[in-house]
Each structure stands twice: as C-alpha cells, then as structure tokens.
Structure 1
C-alpha cells in the first residue's frame, strides 16, 4: 500500500468543479425537477441543506478520517440517504446527482489523478495509472477511480475527493475491491497511511541450489505480511497481494541471486568512479542503475513493484 497525498490545500480545478456542481444542484432545486421527473420533497430538502452555509464544500472536501462519521450523521438526519433500493425514485435521484456526475466530462478525472502526484496504483504498487494525453487528441490514457465507500451504499459521497482513490483496473475490478464493502471488511484508506511500512514482502526459498534462474523462481514462495499493527491485513486479502505477487517470483529470484553475489563496497565505488566522466552517481543511483532497485520509499509511488523489490533486497542484503 502506498500513501496518497492528503494535503489540505484543495486544488483550484476541484474548487472550480465544486462551483459548477453547486450551480447544477441549485438549478435542480429552483426547477424542482431532475430531467422529466419531479424532485422528491426529501431529496429537495437534502439539496437545500447542502446549498446552505458551507455544507456542500464540507461534504465534498471532507477529510478521509471523517468521511464515515460524516456520512452516518447525514444518514441519521436525512432518512432518504439510508435508502438502498435502486427502484426507489429518491435513491435514483440522489444517485443521478452525485454518481452520474463522476463519469461525465464535468469531473476532471485526469487532473484529479495528476494532482495526487502518483504514477502507480496505491493499492497494489504494480500497475501504472499515470494520465497520458495522446498526440492524436483522442481520449487520454488514465487510471480508474475507486469509490472507497461504495457509491451503492453512499452515493452522496461519490464526488468527495478523499473518497476517490486512483487505482488500476485489477484492484478496482471484480477480482479486487469491486464487490467488497469497505465498511464491513474494515479496509484502510490510502489517504490515512503515513508511510509504506504497514506491510512487508518476504520470500521463502525451498531449495539450496538451482540449475538455472527459472528453477530458482519456481522455488520461491512470496509472503505479504501486515506490520506495525497497521490494520492492513484485510487490504492484503482484498487485493490478493500474496497471489498476484507470487507471479513475480522471477523478479524475486533475480534479487535473491544478486544477494548471493555479496557485492563489496569496493566494487560499488569502482563502478561509480568509472561512470564519473559520464555522470556523477550516488549510492542510491547505483542501486537503481546497476541493481534496478528503488531504495527510497518516497519514490515507491512512481515505480511499479518498488516496495516489493526494496523489501526483498534489504532481507537479502543486496544493499
């Protein structure tokens, strides 16, 4: 799990979106309709509440650690928010106002992901989610947004920025969090993580010698463990980290064998000296250039498998 930037400074593009969204909500209230359907009285009452004081911004900009309490308090005050029946008109109206707006061009999805300054999925640290604009001006390549608290259970949180987690399609899909309730399973929101130390990757070797690197890879069992009482055990299970990282046993084998080389400090300094006429590199640069391992946790957010590689490398004393 990789922490997400929880900077309290709200991006300007998001403020602009909130302003446009507020105007849309105000039009619904003034017209008393959503499309061809008359606005249900209790839905109107909830929208009027949001338009008063600073309640809409408070909802959309609610901190990650306050999302659940805030949602529960709103559900107590407005009973329509407790509805779960898709056939109920009030539920459909709330869903249309909040959820449908998430997928329109009005919500700056690409800008939202870019603002978080992360290139790989925070749930698995395996897949790129970086937004890339194509030269032909067609739809950009971008990651997905997971609603940490389900839009089925809490549709009114569908646009709250700390409820939106940029992630890959695997983690957001059927094999990941798609059918999982964050409430019931007590998942940890990436916005609430302070660092990457809440889980650790390890490997077990079932043989002492191998005919080739493939045999070495087949002799490795990957383990993913919760550490520091982080509460991430359920995240590990939900995103099947142990299973998916077992598929990277070949990467683990490379690190294991590099560890057996026991590169002396003099070798490192020799390589650094040889490269000096071209580029001046540090020990950190050496780990990246020669070993292919990122050892700075602050950079894990930009490189796939980086946490995995760093944990194994430290255990095998590669650096």
Structure 2
C-alpha cells in the first residue's frame, strides 16, 4: 500500500477543481429531482419534501461530503445510515443526487471521471504498485483510458460517499474488481492511501520453495494487523507470486556482481557523467528509489526491498 500525499500541490488543485465542478453538478441534480427523471423517482409521492431536505442539508454539508477527510466522511455517513435504512425514498434520492455513474459518463461538456483522473496524475495503483493507472486523452480529445476508482467505503453501504473525493481511490482494474468488492472496511482495520503513510512497515522478501515452478516464493512482512488485513484484502502476496521472473533476475544480478552494482555501473560505464543516485537507480533498475516516488513506476517498492535484501543496493 502506497501513500498519496494530499498536501502535494497537484492533489490540492485537483481537490479544488473537483469541488468547484461537482458542487454545481450536485445542486443541478437536486433541482432536477422535481422532474422525476428515473423510474424509481417517479414512484416517490412527496418528492418536494426531499428537495427541501436536500437544499437545507446541502447548504451546510456539501463541502464536507465532497472533499471532507476520510474520518469525517465516515462519521457523516454513519450518522445518516439509520434514516437511509428507514426511508427507502431517501436512499433513492441520495443515489440519484450523488451518482457515481453520472461522474463516469464520458461527456466533453462537463467535468467527469477523466478530468478527476487527469488532475490527480497518479501513475500506478497505490494498492498494489503493480499496474499503471495512466489517463490517456488523445490529441483529438478522445477519452481513451483512465484508472478505475475504488470506493474505499463501499457505495452500497455508504451511498452518501459515492462521489466523495477522498473516497475515490485511483486504482488498477485488478484491485478494483478483485476480492474487496463490498467488504465493509474501516480506517481502524484497513490502510487508506490518503491517510496512512506506512510504506516502510511492509517489506517484500523471498524464500526458496519446492511448491512453485520457479522454486521461489514471495514473502511479505508487516508490522500490524491493519497492514495484514489490507494485504489479504487485495491479494498482494498472490499477485506478486506471479513476478518470480523479476525476482530471479535480481538474484542473478547478485550472483554476477558481488560488489555494489550501482558503484560498478557508475565507475565503469558512466565515468565522467554526473548523475544523481535517484537517476542512476532509475537507469539501472527501471524503478524508483525513494518511497515517496514509488507511485511513479510499477514494482518500485517490490524491487527496492529485494535489492536491499540481496545487498545490491545500500
């Protein structure tokens, strides 16, 4: 699990753009409740009661719902859950107003999920750091691909948070459609990319095994139950067990270069060329050295941990 630093300028800008755009969208959808645009809304007799409820409620809580921090979001959702369970019509209205599918529609004329993904600029999945999560919009403005957005708090259990900025985690399809599903996770039990910065508490290792074709098996060490819960939820060990080829390459490198590989590379092949340690590492291994940069390239965390264990890097 990697950390997304919410204090980065690009994240702050993305948050502001999201609020400015989506607050207007929410108000427009509240106003549109009167037209009963869906089959479920047509069945609500006292729709104007809910319109008044939303208009009064939104005046105080819209900013919190859209860009509130995860702990505040959870409390807000829990506070309204009894009413949602008691009033079926309230849930129908909430699901229309805070509609994730509407955000995901590809529309050039308004803000959508592509705009959010592009402004965040998260290059790899923070859950697994295995897959790219690139946003690609062609020169012709065709919206080609973007990351999936995982709802940290499942929208089936927390419909109020379906389009909350800090509940939408840019992620790969594997992590978004895997075993997490509608599991009711909480900040006390599972890591949240915007909240927890514990990347160094989780360490990749390996062992030799007679139960695998490659003879190798990935191990993952963690320091807390919360970290272990998160690893199991996303099947991180199982995912990385498919990367024993990369593991074998690093072990071979250790066999052929008994001394520090980066020093050999710099003194023999790059003599006279100034290059920072970060740049040299990226050139040699194709991944990032520093934990705050892991999110820029897939497998950075995995490779850094294994290379350190093998003594290839300091």
**Correspondence for 2:157:** 153
1:64 equivalenced with 2:64 (yes/no): no
1:231 aligns with 2:238: no
Q: 1:179 to 1:154 in 2, by over 3 A?
A: closer
Give the whole-Å Cα distance in 2 for the aligned partners of 1:10 and 1:276.
42
When residues 23 and 258 of structure 1 are mapped into structure 2, their CA distance, relative to the original with a 3 A threshold, is: same
Write out per-residue CA displacement over residues 161-201 of structure 1, whole angstroms, 9 at most, x where no aligned residue.
Answer: 0010000111111x232242224993221111224223111
Question: Superposition RMSD on alpha carbons, in Å?
Answer: 2.9
Q: Kindly indicate whether residue 20 of structure 2 is the aligned counterpart of residue 44 of structure 1.
A: no
TM norm structure 1? 0.82
- Give the equivalent residue in structure 1 for 2:5: 5
Partner Cα separation in structure 2 for residue 136 and residue 204 of structure 1:
49
Conserved in 1, the CA contact under 8 Å of 2:3 and 2:195? Answer: yes
Distance 2:267 2:173 in 1: 40
What residue is the counterpart of 1:212 in the other structure?
none
| Aligned residue number for residue 211 of structure 1 | none
Aligned to 1:213: none
Give the Cα separation in 2 of the matches to 1:250 and 1:217: 11
Residues 15 and 67 (structure 1 numbering): CA distance in 2 closer, same or farther, change over 3 Å? closer
Identify unmatched segments of 5+ residues in structure 2.
none
Q: 2:312 aligns with which of 297, 310, 318?
A: 318
Higher helix share: 2
Alignment partner, residue 249 of structure 2: 254
Where does residue 185 of structure 2 map in the other structure?
A: 182
Partner of 1:103: 104
Output one character per residue of 1:21-58: Cα deviation in whole Å (capped at 9) or x when no partner.
243144146x37455625646633541333323x1112
**For the residues of structure 2 that align with 1:202 and 1:184, how far apart are their CA atoms?**
27
Aligned residues: 300
Q: Distance in 2 between matches of 1:22 and 1:308?
A: 41
Pair 1:192 & 2:199 matched: no
Deviation of 1:266 (Å): 9.4
Please report the TM-score for the alignment, with normalisation by the length of structure 2.
0.83
User: Structure 1: which 5+ residue stretches go unaligned?
Assistant: 208-215
CA distance in 2, matches of 1:90, 1:107: 26
Over residues 72-124 of structure 1, what are the superposed CA-to-partner deviations in whole Å (9 max), with x where a residue is unaligned? 12335xx1x2369xxx4442332122124332334432232233332000111
Match of 2:173 in 1: 169
Match of 1:306 in 2: 300
What is the CA–CA distance in structure 2 between the aligned matches of 1:246 and 1:265, rounded to whole Å? 26
CA contact (8 A) 2:22 2:111 kept: no
For the structure 1 residues 123 and 141, does the alpha-carbon distance in structure 2 shift closer, same or farther, using more than 3 Å as the test?
Answer: same
Q: Aligned in 2, Cα 1:232/1:46: closer, same or farther, shift over 3 Å?
A: farther
**Distance (whole Å) between structure 2 residues aligned to residue 269 and residue 259 of structure 1:** 12
Q: Distance in 2 between matches of 1:232 and 1:45?
A: 43
**Aligned-residue offset at 1:63:** 0.4
